Every structure is written in C-alpha cells, then in structure tokens.
Amino acid sequence: MTEPQHDRTRDRATPSLLDQMGGTAGFVYSTIPVIVFVTANAFLSLPLTIGIAVATGLALFGYRLLQRERFSSAVGSLLGVALAAGIVAWTGSARDFFVIGIWASLAGFVVTAGSLLARRPITGVIWNAVHGGTHPWRSTPAVLRAHDLATGAAALVLGARFGIQQWLYVAEATGGLGIARVAMGTPLTVLAALVVVWAFRRSTKALVR
C-alpha cells in the first residue's frame, strides 16, 4: 500500500473526534446532568441537588454502557459530573458546578489563540501529526488559511464561553450558567467542528496525493 493510500485508509479507519466523544448523543448526555442540577437547585437543598446530579450521571453511565458506547466516553462524562459535584460539596456554592468548564474554556482559548499568534494554528499541527508530520502545510497558503479559520473558529467559541460564563459566575447566576452551558455547548461545538472538518479535508485534498 502506498503512503497516500495509507493516509486515506487511516482517515476512514480512525474514529472522528465526535465519535470518540460519544457522537451527537454524547453531547446530549453531557447536558442532562446540567439541566437536572440547575432544576433541582431551584427547589431543593444543595446536598440533595448534588446527590441527584451524581445519580443522574451514574444512570446515564449505565445506560450508555448498555448501549455499547465507548467506555472512555461514558466514564469521562461521569467523572466530569462527579468532579463538578465534589467541588460544589467542598465549596458549598452551587455556581461552582460550572467552574471546571469555565476554566477549561479559558485554557482552550489560550492554546488556540496562542497558536494563531505563533503562526502555527493548532488544527494544522494536529492534522499534520495525524498524517505523519511530514507535509509542508504551513508553506501551502490555502491550507494555512484554512487552519487559520478553523483554529480561529475554535478560539472564538472558547473565548465566548469563558467570557459569558465567567461574567455569570461572578454575578452568581447559577440558572444563567446552566442556560449558557447548554446553549453554548453542543450548538457552538458543532459549528466549530464543521469548520475544522472542512480544514482537514481541504488539507488532505491539497497535500495527500
């Protein structure tokens, strides 16, 4: 098998990022504990709210395993809920259920924006690494522009998430944080992912012969 054929076969065989995260359903599952937490917090005591959120995470974990989804995806979501609930139990503040996501968005923004400033957009670095690390993607203007756009889209989403959710966090608007988490989660992730997929395909078409 030639190297180009090998690259294309690898493209087909390697699960996409969306698949590795549990597919579209995985994003939906990740929002359910958030909705449950915010709703329960409006009517119940904080300890009960924490317990219900964790129980929801466990139920979803079991259901996803029964559906034969990837263990890493299912357990990752459960650990995220458990860690968020643990922080809330430790601090005694419901808004801290969202603190991990807020700071993760900031970290992601720093990485993506920093890679743009360094003229090494992170999506291009990842694409090149997946394809053997030997392609001249930075010296191919069309490919570099594509990854500038893809990385810029990711930076915009991450920066917006951090800015809005940090503002709501400071305002102690737990309900608003829940709404922002859901509204700025799957929809914006899908939009950014579409740009990244476009950049990957453009790169493969231009550089993989």
Q: In order along the chain (209 residues), what is the average pLDDT of each group of 10 residues?
A: 46 48 65 92 94 94 86 83 94 95 96 96 94 91 96 97 97 94 87 93 89
Residue 24's pLDDT is 61
Residue 14's pLDDT is 40
Residue 77's pLDDT is 82
- The CA angle 21-154-15, to the nearest 5 degrees, is 30
Mention every residue, 6+ apart, whose C-beta is less than 8 A from residue 29.
Answer: 22, 60, 64, 77
Q: What pTM does this model have?
A: 0.83
